[in-house]
A and B are shown apart, each in its own frame.
Chain A
Amino acid sequence: MADSQGAGAEKTAPTSKAEMKPDAKATKNIKPPNPMWKYMGLGENFRPRLPSRNWMIFLSITGTFTAAVIYDKREKKRAQRKWCKLVEHIAKEPLGRQEMPRKLTVFLESPPSDGLRTAQEHFKEYVKPILVASGLDWEFIQGRKEGDVRAELAEKIRNYRTPPEQRTEESVVDEVRRRSGIKEFEGVGGDIVIGRHTWKEYVRGLHEGWLGPLTEPPKLSDEKTTEDTNSTETQTPPITENALGTASHSATEEDGSSPSDQAPPPTEPEPKPDEKPAKPPQPAPFITTSQYQSAATPSNLPSEIGPSTPISFPHILGFLNTPRRLYRFLNRRVLADQIGRETAAIILATYRPYYTTSTAQPATSFSSDETEVSPQSKDQDNAQVAEQQTALFEEEKEWHKSTRVRVEGESERTWLEPIVLDPRIASRMRRFELTAEDEARARSIVVPEEEIEGWIKGGLRSLGRMGLEAVGLGRKDKESRTEDEEVME
């Protein structure tokens, strides 16, 4: 149009409006903006700005912390899913109708100056998901105070050692199973020991069970008379072994409680006339560490004592330790990966003997220096240090100082004594470890985002998916029933 060829003409604007009011529109050739923007505060004077300084401080602090927590949560889930995927194939293996599945034993004990529940939650959070994914069965040996796990484990081993005819407490469940012809699992079991304190008791209980006498040795010391009646009630088999030297420390704790989920029934305490609660007291160790060497080797000592793994259980108390605990809370993915690796090794049942390390080179054979290792055996300057002694050593520094307080005349403090090994037992202990190819397979596992995301992102994802399906661009890969599983016989 000839009208619109003005000086300040923009590009072509052959609209009817330009024709009607050429002069007025020549200068303002754009439409006025929607007045709504002005009412919302985004009018002509709008300029994007950052929040104020105080808001910036607040948002950066909370944002950083939230991001750290969320990142750690996701990575922890990713690590656990990775190990779960590694062992999933075990859950799909068929089991004959008269066979029992493999059963692992989990040793839990309350950490020093804390409750059993912390240990249980640690197990539930780090170990249990992978056990669940693998479909294996497990049972607990739990302890509330120092010495419970040791006593229970030693009792179990002693029961196993006594010939079947002389066992007074045959497990009813085992009887029923034998009668129906149900076979127990034939492969290796597995001991999962959580925490250094539990590990110390485990090793001590192992030695006590295998090297100690089958009956309680008579006590020499002049303790309270109630103890003698207590001690006789814990062991009732008629056989008597040669009584070894009696233990000098032998106080049985009065307020004992040793909960267990074991099938064999616990010993019933005889009704006491005094104020003693109706809980069985914890028997003192049947053999001291110094008597290991002189103890006779039992005839049915197996060549490999059930493979075991100590699982780290970092546990620290104290208000002033809050920064350290916060650091650990923000790095739980590392712990989850480590524990996941060890649990996967337990499930895949690949094991090796425990190492003995010297300063120069690690050796796999034990020497007879083992039992003479001084109490400072934990530092690596000594010649022969066993892996069992140094396992999880750093946890011991974190124990509360009240645990190290020694009271007069109390029984042996397993937690405070160094780990003493007998070469016969120690050489037969085995430890689970992943093979290199399993490690390689684990490294190659990719965990998709769907398994890691939380419920917010997951909800959005399913919303989007539903929308796509409604529109018609549905998912191309619907799960199809594959015929790869064999028909059961």
Chain B
Amino acid sequence: MFSHLVSHCFDSCVDDFTTKSLIQRETGCVSRCVKKFMAGSERISQRFQEGQAQMMAQPPPGR
């Protein structure tokens, strides 16, 4: 998951290669990207957990 995070945020944020260090826009973008990624994956895992619990309790009518 960490590698996903790294590649996603790097691809989205870091695009200025005139200098090898990160410029201020990019650092801001990266920190926001990380926060958003974490919050998003947390929310998704919560929904997954609920779905799992429901599937345990009441298996869907499978065919």
Question: Which residues of A come within 8 Å of B, CB atoms?
Answer: 97, 172-173, 175-177, 180, 182, 263, 265, 481, 483, 487-488
Report if B25 contacts A (CB, 8 A). Answer: yes
Find out whether the CB atom of A172 lies under 8 angstroms from the CB atom of B58.
yes
Question: Can you name the residue of chain A whose Cβ is closest to the Cβ of B56?
Answer: A172
Find out whether the CB atom of A176 lies under 8 angstroms from the CB atom of B49.
yes
Contacts of B57 in A (CB 8 A): 172, 265
Find out whether the CB atom of B39 lies under 8 angstroms from the CB atom of A172.
no
Find out whether the CB atom of A488 lies under 8 angstroms from the CB atom of B35.
yes
Find out whether the CB atom of B50 lies under 8 angstroms from the CB atom of A176.
yes
Q: How far is the CB of A6 from chain B (nearest CB, A)?
A: 73
Q: How large is the interface on B (under 10, 10 to 19, 20 to 34, 35 or more residues)?
A: 10 to 19
Q: How far is the CB of A358 from chain B (nearest CB, A)?
A: 50
Contacts of B43 in A (CB 8 A): 97
In terms of DSSP, what is the predominant structure of the interface of chain B? helix
Find out whether the CB atom of A176 lies under 8 angstroms from the CB atom of B53.
yes
Contacts of B54 in A (CB 8 A): 172-173, 176, 263
Whether A175 contacts B53 in the complex (CB less than 8 A), given A97-B39, A182-B46, comes out as: yes
Find out whether the CB atom of A177 lies under 8 angstroms from the CB atom of B50.
yes
Q: How far is the CB of A156 from chain B (nearest CB, A)?
A: 17
Going nearest first, the 9 A-B pairs with the smallest beta carbon separation are A172-B57, A265-B58, A172-B54, A176-B53, A173-B50, A176-B50, A488-B35, A172-B53, A173-B54
Q: How far is the CB of A258 from chain B (nearest CB, A)?
A: 14
Residue among B32, B42, B57 with most chain A CB within 10 A: B57
Residue A488 contacts which of B25, B39, B49, B58 (CB distance < 8 angstroms)?
A: B39
Question: Can you name the residue of chain A whose Cβ is closest to the Cβ of B61?
Answer: A278
Question: Can you name the residue of chain B whose Cβ is closest to the Cβ of A481?
Answer: B25
Find out whether the CB atom of B42 lies under 8 angstroms from the CB atom of A97.
yes
Q: Roughly how many angstroms separate A172 CA and B35 CA in the complex, as a whole number?
A: 30
Q: Roughly how many angstroms separate A97 CA and B46 CA in the complex, as a whole number?
A: 10
Whether A487 contacts B49 in the complex (CB less than 8 A), given A97-B39, A172-B54, A263-B54, comes out as: no
Report if B36 contacts A (CB, 8 A). Answer: yes
Contacts of A177 in B (CB 8 A): 50
Q: Mark B25-63, 1 if CB is under 8 A from A, else 0.
A: 100100110011001001100100110011011100000
